Structure 1
Amino acid sequence: MAPSRPVVAHEESGNGLVGPARIIDGDTLDIKGTRVRLVGIDAPERDQSCFAGDGSSYPCGARAKSHLAALAGPATLRCEGTEQDIYHRLLATCFAGEVNLNAEMVRAGWAVAFRRYSERYLPEERTAKAEGAGLWQGNFRMPWTWRQDQRTASVVRRDCNIKGNISKNGKIYHLPGSRWYDDTQINEKRGERWFCSESDALAAGWRSPQHD
């Protein structure tokens, strides 16, 4: 795949926020202690995974962060914007020299147009999709959908509080208030899970502790 051509800025510089950046994720950075959210785009979250063209999973959130870091490099960035979001982050368009980082992240396929708020970067997104660049090499959840799924899962965990642990003794579930409940940590990446009832746990192949 041919490398993406940097998107050159046409906006006037203005004053803006100027300085070297610390990259937080694929659409967020810090300059001089100010948290900046690249406006008009949305990148995968840091712990989000996506699927490549061959069906294998890869850490697309980490890849997006790395790409933004490569674009920014050690250069002094210029970020232009005046509004803040609900998290008190400056909503800005940022430039490394004449390269518009917001546009280039979408053009390279490591972010998408945040169409809920702006359609400005839809042309760059269409180009990335047509070229199979970045995220478009395979399948992925739109970042806003992935975040909503995570919030929904968090609500389910609060309501379904039986811990399905996997240990050397097998699959064991722990009820709230039981002996090992507070000491048991659930790691869903290992196949551990939460249950809403004992019958759900038993049906899924978990058993109660023998010496609880």
Structure 2
Amino acid sequence: MRALMLLLLLSTAAAQVPATVTGIATVTDGDTLQIRGVKVRLFGIDAPESSQTCTRAGKVYGCGREAAFALADLVRNKTVTCTRKDVDRYGRMVGVCTVGGTEINRWLVQQGWALPYLQYGGGIYSSTASQAKSAGKGLYAGTFQNPWDYRKNPGSPPTAGTAGTNTVPPVPATSTVYYANCTAARAAGAAPLRAGQPGYRAAMDRDNDGVACE
């Protein structure tokens, strides 16, 4: 019965997601955009989580944030077009996006800020990733944990999930970190906040998608 209900929910979500969306994009994280109210998870790739850190030149840095900044720089004040390939369990479009003739999904892999997500069609980006690795770009300039392994690690903050999965979203964990509002969270450099991360509160997650202050 539960599986049937989930299937019905996914079918309803798919019917509500447009085949394409075009407009100025805002960046949620290194592999997620929002255009005109439509959330788009980039197809076939997986970028570091917002809270994820990596090492480079012997120092720890926020690779999740750098991936998001790289994406933000690419799309800033430009028209982005995304074409739907699927719809994920959160009702987000899973799509291939372009800006100024550049495919964003491939560009992120090319720059080393995202990895091919082989489990979800990312094999088409494997050769591009090999070139980025050989050139030592982005994540390949140091050491890192695969984003999907990072999410599986019990010590990592829970995240809102990834494209194509059919599991129930995680229940937000109790946290001793408190932000009065999203302005405070952004000032602390903590935004966006995902369900289960310290400081996340449902009251700040206006669209109830598991990501607050995006």
Give the TM bin, normalised by the shorter chain: 0.5 to 0.7
Answering whether residue 84 of structure 2 is matched by residue 81 of structure 1, we say yes
1:42 aligned to which of 43, 46, 53 = 46
What is the correspondence of 1:120-139 to structure 2 with a 5 Å cutoff? Answer: 120-139=124-143
The runs of 5 or more residues in structure 1 that have no matched partner are 1-14, 155-183, 187-212
What is the correspondence of 1:94-113 to structure 2 with a 5 Å cutoff? Answer: 94-113=97-116
1:97 maps to a residue whose letter is: G
Distance in 1, matches of 2:112 and 2:85, equals 27
Offset, 1:123: 1.1
Offset, 1:37: 0.3
Check the 8 A contact 2:133/2:140 in 1, yes or no: yes
Highest CA radius of gyration, 1 or 2?
1
Distance in 2, matches of 1:151 and 1:19, equals 38
What is the correspondence of 1:1-212 to structure 2 with a 5 Å cutoff? Answer: 16-52=20-56, 54-118=57-121, 119-150=123-154, 185=176
Percent identity for Structure 1 against Structure 2? 37
Check the 8 A contact 2:150/2:156 in 1, yes or no: no
Per-residue Cα deviation, 1:72-123 (whole angstroms, up to 9, x for no partner): 1211100011420111110100000200000000000000000111201111
Offset, 1:185: 4.0
Deviation beyond 3 Å, 4+ runs, structure 1: 150-154
The runs of 5 or more residues in structure 2 that have no matched partner are 1-18, 159-174, 178-214
Structure 1 residues 100 and 153: CA distance shift in structure 2, 3 A: closer
Aligned pairs, how many? 142
Structure 1 residues 69 and 35: CA distance shift in structure 2, 3 A: same
1:65 maps to a residue whose letter is: A
Distance in 2, matches of 1:151 and 1:17, equals 37
Structure 1 residues 127 and 39: CA distance shift in structure 2, 3 A: same
Structure 1 residues 57 and 41: CA distance shift in structure 2, 3 A: same
Check the 8 A contact 2:47/2:115 in 1, yes or no: yes
Distance in 1, matches of 2:59 and 2:83, equals 38
Distance in 2, matches of 1:128 and 1:72, equals 21
Offset, 1:71: 1.0
- TM-score (norm. length: structure 1): 0.63
**What CA RMSD, in Å, does the superposition of the two structures yield over aligned residues?**
1.9
Distance in 1, matches of 2:149 and 2:90, equals 19
Offset, 1:151: 7.0
Distance in 2, matches of 1:41 and 1:111, equals 6
- TM-score (norm. length: structure 2): 0.63
Distance in 1, matches of 2:46 and 2:156, equals 20
